[in-house]
Structures are given as structure tokens and as C-alpha cells.
């Protein structure tokens, strides 16, 4: 059953309350890098190893409060709680799909902005093990204006900090761990199978490479072996195709997955739905992808949202096959998740399979991927749009 959290209609958050009281919200401890945390802890008069303990409590144990950090003295815990906040996000709404595979949260930030985070649960399919994927946001809103995207229809608000990005994964981790522990209690899972979040995709609200510094900073926190310990190859960054940042990312020595939102095989069609194509034409983008693949030795994923009558013809599939020929890549074909303000319809599955056949003619591997959580507006920006519309009406 689809469920709503008890806080789904709550109109306030910590920053609003602080402003009303003439006070300022405490800075988030999640915005501290590991080296920053060491410096802060030592300035508080504690030994350096205490920083390691705090780090582990924050990320490995996903503690919800400083009081839970039982290996720290009460005095130190009090000092931390008086200095930092552990709640950069507050839940405004939560939904779970009817099949239980997808949950989505609308989080309110300390300044009142709203962002979305999704947890997708996958059972083993014979090829891949059970996994739980967190889909996270890097911006409140987005300035790039892709016409089929609910977030793009809302405009840009601001970049998220490293802490606001990472805190989404921590929030989802708490849920994932609780589910795993419940499965152990019922015998559905053994203790050795306790996983929590196994994968993270930067495919939520916003363009990660516009917020480049904070996106890379968040990846390094997520990848830290003493924290969440999400393997680099289980982290995917999605971009509409910002060529300078793609080339910069190739030099970061991060073995992450890069996903390109392509959605059309030619400039005329792509520019109709993705304004960024006028700055970075599709041929230049694919050349940059060749450079990235050559440098990193990593396969590139292309996201291709199928829009009925717009980009889903067999001729366009063949053109895409020619465009990507010779590039180490995989294409994810995604029938569009229609939005309330959008003009595009979902093509029939038979047409998606025909499109896939056109790619196969050129040796391009692909998967037809149905969006999860359609019944709970799990597409990027849809839940935020729904809430904003309700507030405005």
C-alpha cells in the first residue's frame, strides 16, 4: 500500500523556527570533511582518534543523534550537540509504492527548500545480488530546463552542500538497515547478508556536474572505507552532458560510473527537449565520452528516455547506433514517466523493443528499463511539484 508519513503536512522546519526566534540554525556536522572533523575535535580538546569514532557513528552506524554515540563521553557528546546539527534534512512527506519496491521522501532543508530522495529495492534476478539503491539530489531545482523533466519545469533554486547530499544517503541507510534487521528477525535474511544501501545514483533533482565540487566531495565521503563504504563502482553520476566537467571528472581518479542523459541521436531532435545541446552539440559530447572512456577504462551508460512520436522511431535508433558505434557503452532505454505539466506520452513496449532492435543492428548493448515507483510520482521532481501545486492552489 502507498503510505504517507505523519509529517506529510508539516509546514515548518528548524530554520523557519530559528528565524522566528531570532536565532541561527547550527551548522551541519555532515558538511565537515574527515580532515575538518579531526581539526574540530582536537580544538575541542579531544584526542585525534575521537574524530574517527565520530565519523564511524555518523556514516557506518548512521546514528540519529549525538546521544547514541555511546563510545564518547557525555561531556563530549554535549559539546558536539551544542556546536553542530545532525538534522540538515527533515522529512516533509514519504511514500511507498504498492509493490513495496520503491520509497520516496520529500525532504525540507534548513532554509525551507525541498528536495527528493528515492530508495529502490531490487531482488536477485539470477545475474545480480539483492541490492538497495539510493537515488539522491544535488540541487534544489535545476536550471537546465529539459522539457520532459518535472524538476526542469520548476526552475533552479540553489546547489546543495556536501552535507546535504550525503545526509540523504544516511537517511536512506537508516531505513535500509532497519529493513535488513527485520528480515533477520523473520528468518528471510542471515546476519551475514546485512547490506543497507549498496548503490548510489546521482540521478535525483539537479545537474550534479553544475554542482561539481560538492558532488565530488560527497562521492569521496560515500566511498570512505570507515564510513558508508559504498564502492566507487556502485556509484553512478548522471549528467546532461557538460563537456568541460566530464573531461575534468576523467582526471579525478574515481572508478565511478558515468551516465549521460542523451535522449536523441541528432542535434535538431535533442535541442528540442534539451536546451544544453545548443551549447554542447551531440557530436562533441560523444567525442568527450570517447576521451572519458579511454582515460578511465570505464564503460559509459547512456540514458535514453523514449518519448512517443519524438525520439522513438526505428530510424532514430539506427542513427543512435551509428553515433555510438566503437564506444564502450551501454544504452538504458526508459519509456517516459509522464509529468503533469509535460507534453510527452509513454510509447508502447512493442515500440521500445523495436527501437532496441535498431540498436542491436550496430552492436550497441541496451536494456529497456521501466521506471520504478510510478504510482508514487517517483520520477525526478514530481513529488515536489505535486506539493508545490497543492500549496499554491
Active centre residues (catalytic): 116, 380
- Find the angle CA(194)-CA(200)-CA(201) to the nearest 5 degrees: 155
Contacts of residue 303, Cβ cutoff 8 Å, sequence gap at least 6: 238, 259, 260, 261, 262, 263, 332, 334
| Bridge partners of residue 119, in order along the sequence | 103, 134
Residues in the chain: 393
The beta strand positions in 32-76, using DSSP E, are none
| b/e map 238-260, b = 16+ CB within 10 Å | bbbbbbebbeebbeeebebbbbb
* 3-state secondary structure at position 152: coil
Rounded CA-CA distance 317/361 in Å is: 9
- Tell me how far the alpha carbon of residue 288 is from its chain's centroid: 23
Please name which of 220, 277, 270, 280 lies closest in space to residue 244, comparing C-alpha atoms.
Answer: 280
Question: Residues near 387 by Cβ (< 8 Å), separated by ≥ 6?
Answer: 92, 93, 106, 114
Amino acid at each position: 500500500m502507498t503510505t504517507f508519513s505523519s509529517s506529510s503536512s508539516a509546514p515548518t522546519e528548524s530554520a523557519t523556527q530559528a528565524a522566528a526566534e531570532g536565532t541561527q540554525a547550527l551548522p551541519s556536522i555532515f558538511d565537515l570533511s574527515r580532515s575538518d572533523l579531526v581539526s574540530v575535535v582536537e580544538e575541542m580538546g579531544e584526542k585525534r582518534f575521537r574524530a574517527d569514532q565520530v565519523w564511524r557513528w555518523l556514516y557506518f552506524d548512521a546514528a540519529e543523534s549525538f546521544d547514541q554515540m555511546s563510545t564518547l563521553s557525555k561531556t563530549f557528546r554535549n559539546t558536539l550537540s551544542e556546536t553542530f546539527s545532525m538534522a540538515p534534512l527533515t522529512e516533509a512527506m514519504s511514500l511507498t509504492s504498492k509493490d513495496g519496491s520503491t520509497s520516496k521522501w520529500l525532504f525540507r532543508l534548513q532554509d525551507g527548500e525541498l528536495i527528493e530522495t528515492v530508495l529502490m529495492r531490487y531482488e536477485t534476478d539470477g545475474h545480480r545480488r539483492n541490492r538497495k539503491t539510493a537515488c539522491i539530489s544535488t540541487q534544489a531545482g535545476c536550471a537546465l530546463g529539459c522539457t520532459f523533466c518535472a524538476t526542469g519545469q520548476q526552475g533552479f533554486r540553489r546547489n546543495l552542500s556536501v552535507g546535504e547530499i550525503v545526509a540523504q544517503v544516511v537517511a536512506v541507510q537508516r531505513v535500509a538497515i532497519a529493513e535488513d534487521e527485520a528480515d533477520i528477525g523473520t528468518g528471510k535474511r542471515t546476519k551475514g547478508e546485512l547490506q543497507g544501501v549498496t548503490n548510489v545514483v546521482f540521478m535525483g533533482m539537479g545537474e550534479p556536474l553544475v554542482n561539481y565540487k560538492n558532488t565530488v566531495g560527497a562521492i569521496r565521503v560515500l566511498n570512505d572505507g570507515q564510513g558508508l563504504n559504498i564502492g566507487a563502482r556502485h556509484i553512478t553520476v548522471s549528467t546532461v552532458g557538460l563537456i568541460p566537467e566530464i573531461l575534468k571528472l576523467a582526471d579525478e581518479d574515481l572508478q565511478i560510473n558515468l551516465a549521460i542523459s542523451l535522449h536523441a541521436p541528432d542535434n535538431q531532435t535533442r535541442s528540442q527537449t534539451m536546451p544544453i545541446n545548443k551549447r554542447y552539440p551531440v557530436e562533441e559530447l560523444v567525442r568527450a565520452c570517447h576521451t572519458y572512456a579511454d582515460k578511465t577504462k570505464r564503460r559509459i551508460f547512456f540514458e535514453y528516455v523514449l518519448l512517443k512520436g519524438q525520439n522513438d522511431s526505428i530510424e532514430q535508433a539506427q542513427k543512435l547506433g551509428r553515433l555510438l558505434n566503437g564506444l564502450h557503452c551501454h544504452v538504458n532505454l526508459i519509456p517516459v514517466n509522464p509529468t503533469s505539466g509535460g507534453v510527452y506520452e509513454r510509447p508502447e513496449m512493442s515500440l521500445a523493443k523495436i527501437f532496441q532492435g535498431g540498436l542491436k543492428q550496430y552492436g550497441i548493448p541496451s536494456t529497456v528499463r521501466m521506471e520504478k515507483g510510478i504510482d508514487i510520482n517517483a520520477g525526478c521532481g514530481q513529488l515536489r511539484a505535486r506539493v508545490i501545486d497543492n500549496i499554491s492552489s
